[in-house]
């Protein structure tokens, strides 16, 4: 099974921006991975960045 990738996106006045990417490790189960991503979303939000989880990244992120 292909490892799951989750992107953290943020909506700004210039549009949507992808700020981070997380891919599930081979030995990491789904529940642990989701918990880790949730913790990272909380960290970004505490830093003042209103991020949200997405299964898609922005075109700029994909090209870099």
Give tens-digit pLDDT for 21-42. Answer: 999 999 999 999 999 999 999 9
Asked whether the predicted pLDDT for residue 1 surpasses 70, the reply is no
Lay out the sheet containing 51-54: strands in order across. Answer: 15-23, 5-12, 51-54
The residue to which tokens 């210039």 are assigned: 14
The whole-model pTM stands at 0.90
Asked whether the predicted pLDDT for residue 2 surpasses 80, the reply is no
DSSP type of residue 26:
T
pLDDT at residue 5, as a whole number: 95
DSSP type of residue 43:
H
Give tens-digit pLDDT for 3-15. Answer: 789 999 999 999 9
């Amino acid at each position: 099974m292909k490892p799951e990738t989750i992107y953290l996106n943020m909506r700004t006045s210039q549009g949507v921006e992808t700020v981070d990417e997380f891919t599930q490790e081979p030995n990491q189960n789904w529940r642990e991975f989701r918990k880790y991503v949730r913790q990272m979303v909380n960290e970004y939000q505490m830093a003042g960045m209103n991020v949200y989880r997405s299964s898609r990244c922005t075109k700029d992120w994909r090209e870099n």
